Structure 1
Amino acid sequence: MSKFEAIRPYYDSEVNDALAQYADHPMMKAIMHFTFPDVPDEEWRSQLLRTHSIRDFQVNFIYQAVLRVLERSAKGLTTSGFDKLEKNSAYLFVSNHRDIILDTSLLNAVLYEHGCKMTTSAIGDNLVKKPFLRALAKLTRSFIVHRGLSSRAMLESSKLNSEYIRDSIFYENRSVWIAQREGRTKDGNDLTQKGVLKMLSMGCEDGNLSDYFKRLKIVPVSISYENDPTDLQKMPELLAKARSEAYVKDKNEDFRTLLSGIMGQKKRIHIALGEVLQGEFDVIFREESSLNRQMQRIAEEIDRVIISNFQLWPTNYVAVDLLNNSDEYISHYTPEDKAAFERRFRAGVDKENPVAVQSFLAMYANPVFNKQRVLIS
């Protein structure tokens, strides 16, 4: 039995049995009816039962579903940096994280369109508690990251995740997607957690961390949505944070957020890949001797690239001007852009609550402030 048994996706040899088990599940039917609205059930079901690999399932079903989502809920997807990838190389994509499912689904769709290998992607176990969702994650080559563990169990889990990532890249030549932090960015501040990088460092077997990080071929990924489809769902947590209160999710919150992210209106989307980080590690490991400082410097470099490549939209500039009661960025948006944004947040945010208004506006404004900071430094 593989040591990765508790976290790994399905092997291709297991795919057909899993699809047979869930072919008639109501959620599978809902996905297929959305993706292939004019196709009789017996037709897509027959093809599903003839599917024997993760790649076939992703290409013939999931990729088609992503195209349908873009058609229904977005006004275009643009990309940059993908032409610099070597088609047969494996990379570690470290990404800002705004949407539970779409961030990695869109990246994989674009990788497929560019003839590159799709990733194995990290997903929190809180999102796959239902058997169908766990099976769907394993069918789309996701590996499980366990949350809420004791310190000792978390250390063991982190080591296992790091070894899985290492083996995927080095031995299977399979790219990996991970978020730069645990959980999605709620406030627009895309910042890498040192803990994620420390987890990665656990996979180093010979102690040469500089060489190890170079071999991982880390590519910072910036994904930018003109409208965050889950902006209003993030408000209760932001308000609790503003009051210095602990926020407790209700039982089905993650699932509702997942659906809102998929079907909510996003307008334009841009995905930008940075250059593979290489020489940066030579400098960092030469100048810093402590692991904490090394990880902090790497986090800062990933943040610099992600923020620099983040696509700013009219919504971001409108939010800054509303937050500052100014017209500093009026050249970056039209009166129609401003009116549409104001309608969006006033429909879902209590405008009599200044903390709520400020929290919502800051969610969109912070990327502008962060890019200013990066460009100045």
Structure 2
Amino acid sequence: MSKFDHIRPFYDTEVNKAILGIVDDPMMKAIMNFTFPEMEDNEWKKQLSRTHSIRDFQINFIYPAIRMVLKKSSEGLSYSGFDKLDQHTAYLFISNHRDIILDTSLLNYTLYNNGQMMTSSAIGDNLVKKPFLMALSRLTRNFIVQRGLPARELLESSKLMSAYIQELLMHENRSVWIAQREGRTKDGNDATHKGVLKMISMARGEQSEMDYFKQLNIVPVSISYEYDPTDMLKMPELMAKSREEVYVKEKNEDFITLLNGIIGQKKRIHIHVDTALDQEIDLIVKSADSPNKQFQALCDVIDDKIIANYKLWPTNYIAHDLLNNSDQFAVEYSADEKEAFEKRLENGVDTKDDVAVKNFLAMYANPVTNQEALKVKE
């Protein structure tokens, strides 16, 4: 029995049994009927029952499902930077995080389209409490991040996850996706949490942190949605934060957000992958004289790359101008685009509540603000 058994994806030898365990689940029927609307249930069940590897499950069932999601809920996916990746190299993709399922699914969809290795991805156990979702996540090469543990157990869990990431990258030559912070960015400010990097570095042994990070081939990823399908669902937490209140999630909130993220309208989507941060890490070692400063410098580099490569859409510019009562970026959008965005705002937010309006607009405007600040910094 492996020490990773309670967090790892299924082995290929376990895949068929796991599929047979969920093939009759109503949620599987919903997914397959959505993905293959012309196919009889017994046909996709027969095909599933013959599936014996994660790769086959991803390519034959999940890939078409994501393609259908894009067709039904977006106006297309564009991407950049993938031509600079080496198909034989394992990368640690550190990404901004907007949507629970789609961020990593769309990255893998794009990697596969470009002949690249798909990732093993970190997913919080709060998202896979239902047995069906746990099985599905393990069938799509996700590994489980344990949340809400007491301090001592959290430390042990972090060490285990660090060791598993090392195992994937260095021994299995498998790329890994992890979000730059715990939980999705709600306010549009994409920032890397130092704790994520500290967790990753726990398995380094006698190596220095920066030497270890260089070995991991860290690649920052920027993903942006023209419309955030969960923007309205983020409002209660943003409002609580603005009132300095503790936000308590509703029952099934994560599951509802998950579903809305998948089926909600996103319009255009863009993913950019950068190059591995080898030179940047060398510069950090030369310029920062303590491990703590080096960690912070690496966080800053990742943030700058994600912000700089974030694709800004008309919605971002419209929100920035509305928030600042200006027309600074009016050339970036049309009157129709502005009207559609204002309608979305009116339908989802009490426009008499200035704080609510400000929070909603900031969610879309902050990527513009951050990119402008980066230009000044440079």
Same-fold status (TM-score > 0.5): yes
Is 1:192 equivalent to 2:197 in the alignment? Answer: no
Cα drift, residue 207 of structure 1 = 2.2
Aligned to 1:72: 72
Structure 1 CA distance for aligned equivalents of residues 12 and 345 of structure 2: 45
Cα drift, residue 281 of structure 1 = 1.3
Structure 2 CA distance for aligned equivalents of residues 147 and 290 of structure 1: 30
Cα drift, residue 324 of structure 1 = 1.0
Structure 2 CA distance for aligned equivalents of residues 309 and 207 of structure 1: 31
Of the structure 1 ranges 291-300 and 188-197, higher mean CA displacement relative to structure 2 is found in 291-300
Aligned to 1:288: 288
Structure 2 CA distance for aligned equivalents of residues 163 and 291 of structure 1: 20
TM-score, with length taken from structure 1: 0.99
| Secondary structure class of the residue paired with 1:94 | strand
TM-score, with length taken from structure 2: 0.99
Cα drift, residue 287 of structure 1 = 2.6
Aligned to 1:134: 134
Structure 2 CA distance for aligned equivalents of residues 113 and 321 of structure 1: 37
Q: Which amino acid aligns with 2:2?
A: S
Structure 2 CA distance for aligned equivalents of residues 180 and 48 of structure 1: 34
Cα drift, residue 283 of structure 1 = 1.9
Aligned to 1:98: 98
Structure 2 CA distance for aligned equivalents of residues 281 and 86 of structure 1: 20
Structure 2 CA distance for aligned equivalents of residues 209 and 182 of structure 1: 21
| Secondary structure class of the residue paired with 2:204 | coil
Q: Which amino acid aligns with 1:186?
A: K
Contact 2:209 2:291 in 1 (8 A): no
* Identical positions, percent: 63
Q: Which amino acid aligns with 2:196?
A: V
Cα drift, residue 192 of structure 1 = 0.3
Aligned to 1:253: 253
| Secondary structure class of the residue paired with 2:116 | coil
Unpaired segments of 5 or more residues in structure 1?
none
Q: Which amino acid aligns with 1:18?
A: A
Is 1:2 equivalent to 2:2 in the alignment? Answer: yes
Spell out, residue by residue over 1:3-47, the C-alpha distance to the aligned partner (whole angstroms, 9 max, x if none).
Answer: 111110000000000001110000001000000000011111100
**CA-based RMSD:** 0.7
Spell out, residue by residue over 1:163-207, the C-alpha distance to the aligned partner (whole angstroms, 9 max, x if none).
Answer: 111110000000000000000000000000000000111021222
Unpaired segments of 5 or more residues in structure 2?
none
Aligned to 1:351: 351
Aligned to 2:28: 28
Cα drift, residue 251 of structure 1 = 1.1
Is 1:177 equivalent to 2:183 in the alignment? Answer: no
Aligned residues: 377
Spell out, residue by residue over 1:214-248, the C-alpha distance to the aligned partner (whole angstroms, 9 max, x if none).
Answer: 11000000000000000000000000000000000
Aligned to 1:39: 39
Is 1:148 equivalent to 2:138 in the alignment? Answer: no
Structure 1 CA distance for aligned equivalents of residues 113 and 241 of structure 2: 40
Contact 2:85 2:275 in 1 (8 A): no
Aligned to 1:60: 60
Structure 2 CA distance for aligned equivalents of residues 339 and 287 of structure 1: 48
The 5 A counterparts of 1:261-340 are 261-340=261-340
Structure 2 CA distance for aligned equivalents of residues 77 and 182 of structure 1: 25
